[in-house]
Amino acid sequence: MRSKHRPKVLRIGAIVLALIGVMFLSACGGTGESQKSDRVHVTTTTTMITDLVRQIGGEYVEVTGLMGPGVDPHLYKATQGDMQKLKEADVIFYNGLNLEGKMGDIFVRMSREKPTFAVSEYVPESELREPEEFEGHYDPHIWFDVRLWKKAAERVRDGLCEVDPAHCDAYRANAERYLKELDELDAYIRARIAEIPEGQRVLITAHDAFGYFGRAYGMEVRGLQGISTDTEYGLKDVRELVDFIVERKIKAIFVESSVPHRSIEAVVEGARRRGHEVKIGGELYSDALGDPGTPEGTYVGMFRYNVDTIVEALK
């Protein structure tokens, strides 16, 4: 009788051993997962900040960005999935200055639970723009002045050092390297803008995202909409911008990757009816970077692309 049931017993034993082996491998063999858990889990909002944290955090951070290419942060509403990513993070970085206007209360709540930093925090108030039409708020588009974005890099560096002091030396070294890269970018922008005749240094876009750019690099900037795309434009705004374009004989205006093109197309048509041909000089990245894996998917690559596009259309 014993020999009759022995093969069945052996089969059951083999299955049990196999299951134990699978459990052992799941617990100990997931080296990738264990390495990932050792990293600082960072959740960011905009693509610019996602890139900034990756540049400074390097191999010691795991970054999850809530917003992707072409996403308008002014209008963005957090999903349930976003809330989970924020809750799972060790640290959160966001822009601040009301850029992520519909998420303000969320950051206040999160700051009670974990380190939550606005990268604009290190920018002195004296260096912030406060346009009259923005109802007493500061312009949040600080990344379009490279020297201000260096302040954001320092905020990220110090925030990572605060939550992960063991790797602070690495964060400082990465930040020092990146700050030098930003200095090179700043010099490149100034050299390229100098190629545009002074009378043609006028940048017209869908919304007023480039105010810091204009102030820093000597360009007059006009936007059809205000600083936030949450602000509607009307026929009066289109008329006034068309008048300006015709009067100044502007050669080119620009659409934006994160704003519908129809607004600027209406301006082009309005100028044409007035007998002035103005072309669309290209698509600029304003509130979001380009696709991951492309040069425009990084802050430096995006800025170079924008400047090259502007200069080639206006010079």
- pLDDT tens sequence across 169-190: 999 999 999 999 999 999 999 9
Q: Cα separations (Å) of 32 from 29, 35, 37, 237, 260?
A: 9, 5, 9, 54, 41
> Structural domain boundaries of the chain?
36-188, 191-314
Rounded Cα distance between 158 and 52, Å, is: 13
pTM of the predicted structure, to 2 decimals: 0.84
Superfamily of domain 36-188: Nitrogenase molybdenum iron protein domain (3.40.50.1980)
pLDDT tens digits, 110-149: 999 999 999 999 999 999 999 877 667 899 999 999 999 9
Superfamily of domain 191-314: Nitrogenase molybdenum iron protein domain (3.40.50.1980)
Residue 245: CB partners within 8 Å, gap ≥ 6?
204, 253, 267, 271, 276, 278
DSSP class of 207: E
Fold agreement (36-188, 191-314): yes
Residue 87: count of CB within 10 angstroms of its CB: 12
For residue 290, is pLDDT > 80? yes
Q: Cα separations (Å) of 183 from 96, 135, 166, 200?
A: 24, 33, 28, 26
- Whole-number pLDDT of residue 244: 92
For residue 306, is pLDDT > 60? yes
Q: How confident is the model at residue 59 (pLDDT cuts 50, 70, 90)?
A: very high
69, 91 Cβ separation under 8 angstroms: no
Tokens of 268: 């082009």
Rounded Cα distance between 122 and 95, Å, is: 11
pLDDT tens digits, 271-285: 999 999 999 999 999
Cα 49 to chain center, whole Å? 5
Q: If you average pLDDT over residues 36-46, what whole number do you get?
A: 89
For residue 21, is pLDDT > 80? no
- Whole-number pLDDT of residue 258: 66
Half-sphere exposure (Cβ direction) of 269: Cα atoms closer than 13 Å:
8
Which of residues 14 and 192 earns the better pLDDT score? 192
278, 271 Cβ separation under 8 angstroms: yes
